[in-house]
Structure 1
């Protein structure tokens, strides 16, 4: 078996393995759109490498045209998948029109024009620009790269460099062999490594997204989408440590819906669930970015307000209390939901969240005892 056959077998094998791996990932791990799009990209890649082999061994222009079309479609699907994963707007025309122009140019280069320079330049230049846009779309906003994202970004960037190097070397082709050697050298040395690297790092991104989603599910309440008790405890460890390190204030609010059991018993659990969701959304919208909201169990919620004294936290909760009374929820026939709130400051003797919870709970009990639908600060209830 000669070197080109080995090279094409390696690329075909990589595309096949990736198609199978991504198909399994899509079927069993959430069926995300971008994973399905990447699966299609590598499935087209399988066909494209087969067509490449047919063109190489049969010396048929038709097979080379199919190869070029496959490269365009495969690269476009990879870029579309990155765009889907990023959650950015996706305009298919922005991909379809350049792809159609590249396909037309490639067909003319192989057919009527018979230009080896255009044959070697159009596809690598198109794929290189496309993957550069993909790498830019992968760049996260408001946060750092996760390790899988970073290696995938590096692999895509390397792929861009290789494709643009191929396009550049194609402009040096001046005769039957002159310039082709450099093109073949770049392709044979770098293309297999970069293709495999991009494939492997794409799988790492899928696996990393899955692991992150599992961690999110472990820390979040599925009904209200705020933190669960475990997530709240973990967030409190960091919040308390930062407050002590930087000598800042920290306030804890413990609150629950007044008469929640009666709502559940009288109108069913669907109404109760809607009330919990609405209350949680109201709490999240009332606090600042960086503050922590968690469901401690049942209808009880806990909030950690960073850089806030208990009095400031009480002011925020007063707005929540007023808005809650006017909240209208689908499926909840009861109007004018009510809630009680207990607030406690972080003090020098606190070592963990439970220390603050004990005082906030005492304040909440005092609010209930005084008639409910009110806010009590621990210092006032002690």
Structure 2
């Protein structure tokens, strides 16, 4: 048994195991579509390595089997790229990838049946594989700077695997248009050393990314309010403490707002808890629409919410919150009842002596209490309240 046959046999088991792992991940972790596509990609890769093994065991050069092996390889690489595209929520890019796999398979088929040149046959498949790895790296995240640490690692490794594929494709073109046995032997030796590393690496990093996504989902569930989708109290406090430390370090302004829906108990009593839940979701969605990306929103009590406005002075925060107050009063809750809500707000800014979120929340809460006492549906500044006192 040659070393190549041993390596191919090992790759069959690796591809089959990766397929099984992806199927388990898809079945157990919320059925993400990209995990199912990757499972299919590694199933196709398993068939490809079986076909490759059959080629090695045959004495003659089977042109049809060569074409089948190459077509399966193109399809597997295309499906890996499709999985990354689906994870990145860009479904419009899926069909072009599958069409490209079909074109590459046809080109390899032509190279096998019309002009059976080994160099062209191998370089086309490897070049297509490298292209699919680059597409995958491009679709891991919206950009390298916005990517998480696991996503950056996957992007770097996919780029390296693309470089391996392109290098092997260049080596494959070495024999040119003639089937030079010496050059082909060199090419196959290099493939035996490098391609298993690239293939196994792509599989392992795909599994790694699924695991990282699961960890992010679990972390998000632990810090998010299930009803409204904004931060829960724990998530808001953790993120706000980091924002406060950063503002103090950078000497930047920061404002905290506490909001409370007026007479929320009456909504529940008159219309039921289903409508009350809809009102809470409506309130949270209006807040998300009216604050900037990077500001924090949290549901810290039943009908009580908190905002942290980064790089915002208290007087500017008052203008933002007044705009929110008017929007809440003007936009009825969707549904047959068409409920019009109002809300009360308390606002405060970061001061030099503030060392934690608790002191800001306490001041904002006192301002909110004054808004309630003075008739609700209004905004009160903690600074102005203290000046009056």
TM over 0.5: yes
Q: Is the 8 A contact 1:325 1:338 kept in 2?
A: yes
Offset, 1:258: 0.5
Q: Is the 8 A contact 1:10 1:192 kept in 2?
A: no
Tell me the secondary structure at the aligned position of residue 92 of structure 2.
coil
Offset, 1:89: 4.5
Which whole-Å CA distance do the structure 2 matches of 1:279 and 1:3 have between them?
Answer: 66
Matched, 1:368 2:372: yes
Q: Is the 8 A contact 2:75 2:98 kept in 1?
A: no
State the TM-score, normalizing by the size of structure 1. Answer: 0.95
Partner of 2:6: 6
Offset, 1:18: 0.4
Which whole-Å CA distance do the structure 2 matches of 1:100 and 1:142 have between them?
Answer: 30
Matched, 1:347 2:351: yes
Partner of 1:102: 104
Tell me the secondary structure at the aligned position of residue 174 of structure 2.
coil
Partner of 1:269: 273
Give the gaps of 5 or more residues in structure 1. Answer: none
Partner of 1:125: 127
Partner of 1:333: 337
Matched, 1:378 2:382: yes
Q: Is the 8 A contact 1:276 1:299 kept in 2?
A: yes
Partner of 2:257: 253
Offset, 1:148: 2.4
Which whole-Å CA distance do the structure 2 matches of 1:283 and 1:291 have between them?
Answer: 10
Aligned pairs for 1:181-192 within 5 A: 181-192=185-196
Partner of 2:45: 45
State the TM-score, normalizing by the size of structure 2. Answer: 0.93
Partner of 1:26: 26
Cα deviation code 1:110-154 (max 9, x no counterpart) = 223222232222211221222222222225338443332233223
Q: Is the 8 A contact 1:251 1:304 kept in 2?
A: yes
Greater shift, 154-163 or 215-224, is seen at 154-163
Offset, 1:291: 1.4
Greater shift, 39-48 or 237-246, is seen at 237-246
**Cα distance change on mapping 1:218 and 1:64 into 2, 3 Å:** same
Q: Is the 8 A contact 1:344 1:377 kept in 2?
A: yes
Greater shift, 58-67 or 142-151, is seen at 142-151
Which whole-Å CA distance do the structure 2 matches of 1:85 and 1:323 have between them?
Answer: 35
Give the number of equivalent residue pairs.
382
Output the aligned Cα RMSD.
Answer: 1.7
**Cα distance change on mapping 1:92 and 1:346 into 2, 3 Å:** closer
